[in-house]
Amino acid sequence: MHHGDGRRTRRHAVLGLAALSLAGCNRHKPPIQVALHISSDGDELAFKPDHLSCPSGAQVQLFFHHAGQILSDPHDWVLLAPGHLKAFLADADKAPDDTVIPAHDKAMVLAATPLCGKQHTVMVQFIAPAPGNYDFVCSVPGHGETMRGTLTVTA
Amino acid sequence: MPNYNPVRMSLMAGAALFALALAPARAQEMKSPQDVTHALATFPRVVLHTQILMNAKNYARLPHENGEIQEGSEALEKSIAGEPAAFKAKVEPLLKKVDADSQSVADAADAHDDAKLARNHAALDASVKQLLAAFPASVQPPPPKPPKG
């Protein structure tokens, strides 16, 4: 066996190991982590900003801050599955209290923060869904008519 | 001997007129304009939110809106605490009318009386407009964001 053959074999082995380890890295690649920040627009029933974006599959930490100064009504941030905005709001507007999302509406919800009091901040973690535009709303009765926005999930 | 120079007299008269013209504007300046605007903004917002809940026939939530009017009233009273007594005397009855009309909406909600609710809500809307009109243009809040449809 020539010296050259041995070097070639070793080189191939090293390259093969490198390729395997890279493939392994790809398989266990940690998801992209994204932090999104959103608040109420002061005491206005609106989100600020009302448009967010993140890549699909990202591990999202969304922080919602209640920036109200006078009105003590709580807020939350609820991400809806596509096509459910009207049905969800119809139920939310009729809800007698703001403490729970009705059980039959939970299937419409992809992610939701807990209710947030004035000048507090709450957080929810979720994996960003498939690419597309997703409505988000405040589920407190009547708020979602003006307090809503869009999360754009990119490929 | 007094100087009756016509040019000097005209200049003095012009200066006096200018000072008079500025006087009302100065009188309209408020001590905490941002706080006043902020407090005033709560009233039309609650009127709109009340209408949304009325449309949804959410009678249980309507008394809660009355609580928000009280919060706005307290914030407004605080924001004008340093204003002249004459101004506060003008605002006070208008604010009391808003509070009373808001209470009437809550009462009609308890009775599930849609016709009375509509009348009382219209009265609340009118009294809020009267209250806002008592304040100078410089502190008027922007209108609330309309429903997105």
Q: Is residue A62 domain-shared with residue A136, that is, in the same domain?
A: yes
As beta bridge partners, residue A116 has A75
Q: Is residue A138 domain-shared with residue A79, that is, in the same domain?
A: yes
Q: Do B53 and A146 touch (CB under 8 A)?
A: no
Map out the domains of chain B with their CATH numbers.
31-139 (1.20.120.290)
Measured between beta carbons, the chain A residues lying within 8 angstroms of B144 are 44-45, 146
Nearest to B64 by CA among B79, B50, B43, B81: B50
Query: What is the residue range of A4's domain?
Result: 1-30
CA distance A138 to A148: 6
Torsion angle in degrees (nearest 10) through CA of A104, A108, A111, A114: -40
Residue B11 is predicted with a pLDDT of 56
Question: Is the bond preceding A96 in cis, omega lying within 30 degrees of 0?
Answer: no
Q: Is residue A14 domain-shared with residue A67, that is, in the same domain?
A: no
Measured between beta carbons, the chain B residues lying within 8 angstroms of A46 are 145
Q: Is residue A51 domain-shared with residue A75, that is, in the same domain?
A: yes
User: Hey, CA dihedral for A52, A35, A99, A110, is it positive or negative?
Assistant: positive
Q: Is residue A40 domain-shared with residue A22, that is, in the same domain?
A: no
Q: Is residue A102 domain-shared with residue A132, that is, in the same domain?
A: yes
Q: Do B58 and A70 touch (CB under 8 A)?
A: no
Q: Which CATH number fits the domain that encloses residue A135?
A: 2.60.40.420
Per-residue model confidence as pLDDT tens digits over A124-148: 999 999 999 999 999 999 999 999 9
Angle, nearest 10°, between helix axes B85-110 and B33-55? 20
Q: Is residue A26 domain-shared with residue A37, that is, in the same domain?
A: no
Q: Which pair of structure tokens corresponds to residue B43?
A: 């009233």
Q: Is residue A60 domain-shared with residue A130, that is, in the same domain?
A: yes
ipTM over 0.95? The verdict is no
Give the pLDDT means over successive 10-residue stretches in chain B (149 positions): 55 50 54 97 97 95 95 98 97 98 95 95 98 97 91
Nearest to B136 by CA among B83, B96, B97: B83
CA distance A78 to B26: 47
- Shortest distance between the Cα of A99 and any Cα of chain B, in A, equals 12
Per-residue model confidence as pLDDT tens digits over B81-115: 999 999 999 999 999 999 999 999 999 999 999 99
Nearest CA in chain B to A96: B60
Q: Using CB atoms, pick whichever of B55, B71, B148 lies closest to residue A71.
A: B71
Q: Is residue A142 domain-shared with residue A73, that is, in the same domain?
A: yes
Domain total of chain A: 2
Using alpha carbons, list the distances in angstroms from residue A86 to A80, A89, A117, B87, B148.
10, 5, 25, 46, 11
Q: Do B52 and A142 touch (CB under 8 A)?
A: yes
Mutation target for B interface from A48, A51, A69, A71: give the one with most B CBs within 10 A. Answer: A71
DSSP per residue, A116-130: B-TT-EEEEEEE--S
CB pairs under 8 A between A and B: 68
Q: Is residue A65 domain-shared with residue A47, that is, in the same domain?
A: yes
- Better-scored residue on pLDDT, B119 or A99: B119
